[in-house]
Chain A
Amino acid sequence: GNSVTQMEGPVTLSEEAFLTINCTYTATGYPSLFWYVQYPGEGLQLLLKATKADDKGSNKGFEATYRKETTSFHLEKGSVQVSDSAVYFCALHYGNNRLAFGKGNQVVVIP
């Protein structure tokens, strides 16, 4: 089936630290991949996307590369800010515009 796995547990780090959130997927074919961000009390916002292997999505200093060989789409940011505190969801697109979401990772950035 189509599914997304994100690393377990919240991520707590200091301001200006390097952030990595792991995401791996299982899918038939080559789905488009997304990272969505949800700030406290808000809906989901598209952070970045990649539609084919080796594509790199980037936005607001965040990056993720579509790795077919490792079926991964890890999210990275070189220097996080307090304003990056949010929940981050990895997702893949399949069949008739359905999205399979990972469980999400709470990121807490401490000043």
Chain B
Amino acid sequence: DTEVTQTPKHLVMGMTNKKSLKCEQHMGHRAMYWYKQKAKKPPELMFVYSYEKLSINESVPSRFSPECPNSSLLNLHLHALQPEDSALYLCASSQDYRDSSYGANVLTFGAGSRLTVL
């Protein structure tokens, strides 16, 4: 299995709703990532988990709350979002997160969850 699976594919929510995005991989990867991609822009890193611990938070607002229940799962909890948070949210994983002397650990991306905040 060489895939990263994200659910739901599409999500529409109001500004007062609470929802979650889910990501799953069964490649034995120990690093997992959340990226945000606005239309016609490159992805922007939000969070990195390494060995189920939060390693990087790129100054993301607290209305986004990541969670890594185990090495295969990554969630992104959403609460009190703003319309400008509407975007494609991409999950990715890699074998490891720490720098490797053999070169970068390649990221495998999921298909994304397209979020619309009304």
Residues of A in contact with B (beta carbons under 8 Å apart): 31-32, 34, 36, 41-46, 49, 51-52, 89, 93, 95-99, 101-104, 106
Q: Is the CB of A98 within 8 A of B45?
A: yes
Interface of B is mostly: loop
Q: How far is the CB of A67 from chain B (nearest CB, A)?
A: 17
B55 to chain A: which residues have CB within 8 Å? 96
Q: Which 5 A-B pairs have the closest CB atoms?
A: A101-B42, A93-B104, A51-B103, A32-B104, A43-B109
Which chain A positions have C-beta within 8 A of B103? 32, 51-52, 93
Cβ contact within 8 Å between B105 and A43: no
Interface string of B89-106 (1 = CB under 8 A from A): 010101011110011111
Quick one: closest A residue to B6, CB to CB?
A43
Judge whether A44 and B41 touch: CB under 8 Å: no
CA distance A99 to B55 in the complex (A): 15
- When distances are taken between beta carbons in the complex, the residues of chain B under 8 Å from A45 are 109
* Complex: A105 Cα to B112 Cα, angstroms: 19
